[in-house]
Amino acid sequence: MPSNNSKYTDEFREQIALRILNTGQPATRMAEEMGIDTNTVCRWVRDYRRKHSMPSYAEEKGIRTLPPKDSMELKQRIKEFERQLKEKEKEKERLIKQLADEREKIEILKKPAHLHATTRMKFESILEFSTRFEVKKMCEVLGVNGRRRVLKSVNIEYAV
């Protein structure tokens, strides 16, 4: 509410608020054009919305929703939030597994003799690190076909 020593009349305030709401022009821009403090103009718009039972800016833009009117609506919102949370948790688990897989590939590629190595050298490297990494994954990362071929090429008996 305006004080007795206010510079602006109630009509002027409502005109500015109505102009902002009708044109969609940002209140900050209007305030700059009029030479009025931004917070003052924003307050006028907020007061106008409240006086005329209009939704707030956040509610209008979907940033904030109105509180539920009854317990059934509240239960539905809770159920929807729980569903969204489960989806996010599944996505998080998938991303954690993917990250672990990529880190393992990086570790495999850090090992020596991969860039210009012959196939046999790659096979030997795979066997050397087979206790630390899966043979199948090392074959995939190094571009080697099949672990049976790896094991046969270095003449090592290994139960496949």
Low-confidence spans in the chain with pLDDT less than 50: 157-160
Given this model, what pLDDT does residue 58 score? 74
Given this model, what pLDDT does residue 7 score? 83
Same domain, 118 and 159: yes
Given this model, what pLDDT does residue 55 score? 81
Whole-prediction pTM: 0.41
Asked if residue 80 belongs to a domain, the reply is yes
Q: Are 20 and 30 in contact (CB under 8 A)?
A: yes
- Positive or negative CA dihedral for 82, 83, 88, 94? positive
**Which structural domain range is residue 16 located in?**
10-60
Asked if residue 30 belongs to a domain, the reply is yes
